[in-house]
Structure 1
Amino acid sequence: MELWSVVFVCCVLCYSFCHSAEAIVKLGGNETIPALILFGDSIVDTGTNNNLITLLKCNFPPYGRDFQGGIPTGRFSNGKVPADFIAEELGISEYITPYKSPSLQPGDLLKGVNFASGGSGYDSLTAQIVSVTPLSEQLEQFKEYIGKLKGNFGEAKTNFILSKSLVLVVSSSNDIANTYFASGVRKVTYDVSGYTDMLVQEASSFVKELYGLGARRIGVFGAPPLGCLPFVRTLFGGLERVCTEEINMASKLFNSKLSSELHNLNQSLPQAKVVYIRIYDSLLNIIQNPINYGFDVADRGCCGTGTVEAAFLCNPLDPTTCVDDSKYVFWDSYHPTQKTYQILVGEILNKYIISFS
């Protein structure tokens, strides 16, 4: 991949058995979720990229300015991301530690870990372009994690954690928005239909790998309305920066195929709870009706001009960053604000958590 392509994409991017928290959202009967295990991209990355040699980092201000203590932890937002809200709402932990974090302790393993790496995707080229951790490597790290669980807590407890944990996969946004449309590198060999077919096949293979390793409660997120991301509006939305219907259609096509494939897997994998988590409509509704949710701005982010800034372009040197990010749907040109994430997670848990019982 030529350097200009790398720079282009970067510039436009982006229970434990004795737990202390009380679950707010609960499963039916006596079912519990002891741990949360995460794979995917920047939507749930809680600091994986901090220790990578990549431009896709956010462990510097103004990222994290609304996080505990105002510390930029490597979360691609002004504060908490979905991983945090989900773990907290399920009563697992306040935060799920990145697997590669130097602060990871043996006890943390019981609550789950986070393998997600900002900039990654189902397409191996997606992570390669921006030098982040691909899903294939995240899977290898998961195997290491299983070995550590067995070494520290024994096989019986490990099997319990694996089978009862909630395993979430959040991917595809970077594939569609960046690798296919923004950089155009995959357009040479795929049309949209062919590319979404490939992504769904990769997603299916990933789920089957997780199942083979012992995971049973697996939730897979669909793609959001990528045509309405601020940076996509800037690139493809003309002078008025409107949502790009072609890219939204690609998201919907992928989602339709993914939903069907996950339904088939749920039927064919014994004792599995494979759930398709639709996020498209929820986020689009917020974007189209921001006032209903207490927002004023939905077409640009808070950071900088909000039109192209993400990762290293969203930095403390830009004086135009907004003062009140609670009025913004998006934090930077790619990622929602903490407030938006909290709304979305509430809707997701209320709608889908019963599916894992």
Structure 2
Amino acid sequence: MHIYSMDLIMYAAIMMTPILSISLLNNVLALRRIYYYCHSIFFLFTIILHGHAHAHDFKTPKNTSITSIFIFGDSTVDPGNNDYVKTLFRSNFLPYGIDFPNHTPTGRFTNGRLPTDFIASYAGVKEYVPAYLDPNLRLKDLMTGVSFASAGTGYDPTTALKNKVIDLTTQVQYFDEYKKKVEHLIGKKEMEKIVSNAAFIISCGTNDIVYTYGLVPYLSLVSDSISPYLRFMIKQSKWLIQELIDRGAKRIGVVGLPPVGCLPAIITLHTSPHQPRICIESLSSIALQFNEMLERELNNMQQQSTLTIIYGDIYTPLQDQFIHPHKYGFEVADRGCCGSGLFEGAITCNSLFPICNDRSKYLFWDSIHPTERSYYFLFEALRPVIDFVINTP
């Protein structure tokens, strides 16, 4: 980890420049806040998303045609690929995974399961989607699908480069490697059948927005400067979809962005200690604008194709959880369960930090990622889309 220390110090110094000039330095609480920023901002705001849910049972849909699942994207769908990458963006240690079977910290950025685990279980494919880079994968694991996702990545290649994680081009290359490996084990025809009958899920982009617009408090956001970057992100998402289609994908679901301004870490950075902790609408509006562009493009691609290409909205349900937490059984929505819940994430959320007494009462696990319970509600909100995909011939 020491090889990153200079990068960490330089990054923290650069990002703290606009913060240190704020008048909050006049009180002790602000000084404490600045201290924590200096120690965690590098890994904190770039490991993005974008309670207990074990009690929730659901029926597997009948006549499903899906036999495997393949996943691409960031920490919202990374079950542990970053465990095998030389990066700071890891979560293979407690308290992460405290509610996963055997209290195992697999590398998932939450206390338990991810939405893709719920999807795979609901579709009757498998209980948990493993990381492709896990060296202990069996043939059965490979045949029913894996995740190539990497926490800290984005549609923008420079996002992954900054974080030293797996970019989308490499994730596609890993899929090529996967196909060759499975073909060697069971033959080309059977391998192609697995891919043809698979559901492909993409969840990415939050890190791009946070890196580009979310790290500097009180930044003036001008629409003319935002639109070109969002169009670039859309271009990258279409490239990824086409790459997967060229490799045999027939059912592709693409998840939009969450309300970025509602992430506790973002609220902390853009709010003084004496202000109410509410969503930063200027940042959430950027995510919403991207989602509208993405949904239009996916609809256009679907109309021009015989394949299934569909958009999944997580912005609306996650925002609803934040605004109406009690409707979902949450008591705390503006901070995470780990530590103070204001800034902790990845290596700053570890066994040295206390965690909340009742995780089921918290919307967020750390200051960026939802709890398993929140993820379950997102899965439920996506059920109509999931049903459509898995029941498409």
2:153 counterpart letter in structure 1: S
1:88-144 Cα shifts (integer Å, max 9, x gaps): 111111112211101112221110011011111101111111111111100000011
Structure 2 residue aligned with 1:158: 191
Conserved? CA contact 1:13–1:310, under 8 Å:
no
State the SS of the aligned residue for 1:58: coil
> Which TM-score applies when normalising by structure 1?
0.91
Q: Which amino acid aligns with 1:131?
A: K
Q: 2:292 aligns with which of 239, 256, 260?
A: 256
* Contact 1:23-1:90 within 8 A present in 2 as well: no
SS of the residue 2:207 aligns to: helix
Paired amino acid for 2:249: A
Per the TM alignment, residue 10 of structure 1 is displaced from its structure 2 partner at its CA by: 1.0
The residue number in structure 2 matching 1:306 is 341
CA contact (8 A) 2:111 2:372 kept: yes
Give the 3-state SS of the residue equivalent to 2:382 in structure 1. Answer: helix
- 2:53 alignment partner in structure 1: none
Task: Structure 2 unaligned segments of length 5 or more: list them.
Answer: 1-5, 13-39, 48-56
Distance 1:352 1:47 in 2: 23
Distance 1:33 1:23, change over 3 A: farther
Q: Contact between 2:64 and 2:123, CA under 8 Å: does it hold in 1?
A: no
- 1:96 and 2:132 aligned: no
Matched to 1:26, the amino acid is P
2:157 to 119, 124, 127: 124
- Residues 9, 182 of structure 1: 8 Å contact kept: no
Partners of 1:65 and 1:72 within 8 A in 2:
yes
Deviation at 1:153, TM superposition (A): 1.6
- What is the aligned partner in structure 2 of residue 173 from structure 1? 206
Alpha-carbon distance in structure 2 between the residues aligned to 1:284 and 1:23: 24
Cα distance between partner residues in 2 of 1:323 and 1:256: 38
Which amino acid in structure 2 is aligned with residue 220 of structure 1?
V
Q: Give the one of 60, 67, 73 matched to 2:100.
A: 67
- Distance in structure 2 (CA, Å) of the matches to 1:245 and 1:144: 42
Alpha-carbon RMSD: 2.2
1:19 counterpart residue number:
none
Give the equivalent residue in structure 1 for 2:329. Answer: 294
Q: Deviations over 1:136-156 (max 9, x none)?
A: 100000011111222112222
* 2:11 alignment counterpart: 5
Confirm whether residue 283 of structure 1 aligns to residue 318 of structure 2.
yes
Q: Does structure 2 conserve the Cα–Cα contact (< 8 Å) formed by 1:11 and 1:308? A: yes
SS in 1 for 2:173: helix
Q: Distance in 1 between matches of 2:383 and 2:189?
A: 28
The separation in 2 between residues aligned to 1:311 and 1:260, in whole angstroms, is 34
Give, in whole Å, the separation in 1 of the partners of 2:357 and 2:225: 42
Q: Secondary structure at the match of 1:191?
A: helix
Deviation readout 1:137-191 (Å, 9 max, x if unpaired): 000000111112221122222222112201000001111123442269xx99x82
How do 1:35-74 residues align onto structure 2 when only pairs under 5 Å count? 35-74=68-107
Give the residue type in structure 2 aligned to 1:8: I
Check whether the contact 1:13–1:311 (CA below 8 A) recurs between aligned residues.
Answer: no
Tell whether 2:273 aligns with 1:240.
Answer: no
* Structure 2 counterpart of 1:193: 227
Instruction: Measure the CA separation in 1 of the matches of 2:382 and 2:179.
Output: 28
Percent identity (aligned): 39
How far, CA to CA, are the matches of 2:132 and 2:268 in structure 1? 35
Structure 1 residues without counterparts, runs of 5 or longer: 15-21
SS in 2 for 1:32: coil
Q: After the TM superposition, which segments of 4 or more aligned residues of structure 1 sit over 4 Å from their partners?
A: none
**DSSP 3-state at the match of 2:258:** coil
C-alpha deviation, 1:317, in angstroms? 1.0
**Greater C-alpha Rg:** 2
For 1:65 and 1:23, the matched residues in 2 are separated by 22
SS of match in other structure, 2:202 = strand
* Aligned counterpart, 2:138: 105
Q: CA deviation at 1:263?
A: 1.0
Q: Which of 190-199 and 242-251 deviates more? A: 190-199
